[in-house]
Amino acid sequence: MQLEVINDIPLNVNLKEFIELKKIRRVDEIEVKKILETGVALAKPKALITFINVKKIDGIKVYVEGEHVFESKILSDRLKVGQPIAVYVITIGDNVERKASELAKESVVKAFVLESVGDYLLSKAREHVKGIVESRLGGKISSFAPGTGRGDLFDIKQQEVIFRMMEPWKHIGVYLTENFLMIPRKSSSGVFAVSEEEYVACMYCPRKCENRRKPFIGVYGEIKCSQT
Ligand code: SF4
């Protein structure tokens, strides 16, 4: 299995987009701009990816190259045997979150804005990596991330499979806690794959959430037989 580190990740930020996306209200725009610039200066975006093939699907078990097995209803439903997928871990490092903690002593509002900047920058880094994967896999890709939505379609415990497979702490300094959370916090992991039907976890997640990217269409309930 070949691992690839991507260091050169541009963060193409836009102040208006950030304010709208993160619903930043009642903070002076000049102040927000300064905080956004601080975040960009502090962020150290990096990604680790590997392209592997799906070997076998049995029930909710998805066997991939390198003897690794994901257990996930959504992956077993949406992937096909022989299909190439990209497993990824992306981070912007811990500088932004550390600065936000410092800033909290001075202003909780500014700290909140910087935290939101961190999320925004991570989404920008992710967008860039997704574009790279899309051009290599040659199709519209969906992202499947452990623990997203209600967590029942791809359990957060499946982070262990990704971390065992790629050992991201060695390559880009991302660690997994006992509770399957990533350190630095502004990190993201999962599987990118071409999927006939677009999958966005929000579609099956009933939570009231300001980060929602697609409307809720109902609880995912497709029943699938095993296939090899
Ligand atoms: S609605 Fe919010 S909590 Fe649910 S999957 Fe989307 S971003 Fe996550």
pLDDT tens by residue, 204-221: 999 998 888 899 999 887
> Sign (positive/negative) of CA torsion 97, 102, 105, 109?
negative
First to last CA, the chain: 22
**Ligand 1 centroid to residue 149 C-alpha, Å:** 5
Q: Please check whether residue 189 is in contact with residue 159, taking contact to mean a CB–CB distance below 8 angstroms.
A: yes
- List, for residues 23-69, the tens digit of each pLDDT value: 898 889 999 999 999 999 999 999 999 999 999 999 999 999 999 99
- Is the predicted pLDDT of residue 223 greater than 50, yes or no? no
Q: What is the pLDDT of residue 210?
A: 80
The candidate with the shortest Cα–Cα distance to 75, out of 148, 184, 130, 177, is 148
- Is the predicted pLDDT of residue 226 greater than 50, yes or no? no
Rounded distance, CA 219 to CA 212, Å?
15
Ligand 1 binding pocket includes 201 (Cβ within 6 Å): yes
Written as six digits, the tokens of 191 are: 């599987």
Beta pairing class for 187-194 and 141-144: antiparallel
Ligand 1 binding pocket includes 202 (Cβ within 6 Å): yes
Beta partners for residue 188, in sequence order = 90
Average pLDDT over all residues of the chain: 94
Ligand 1 binding pocket includes 190 (Cβ within 6 Å): no
For domain 3-204, give its CATH number from 3.40.50.10800, 3.40.109.40, 3.40.640.10, 3.40.630.30.
3.40.109.40
**Residues contacting residue 29 through CB under 8 Å, at least 6 positions apart:** 15, 19
Ligand 1 atom nearest residue 201's Cα: 5
Average pLDDT over residues 127-147: 95
Determine which residue's CA is closest to atom 6 belonging to ligand 1.
202
Domain ranges (residues) in the chain = 3-204
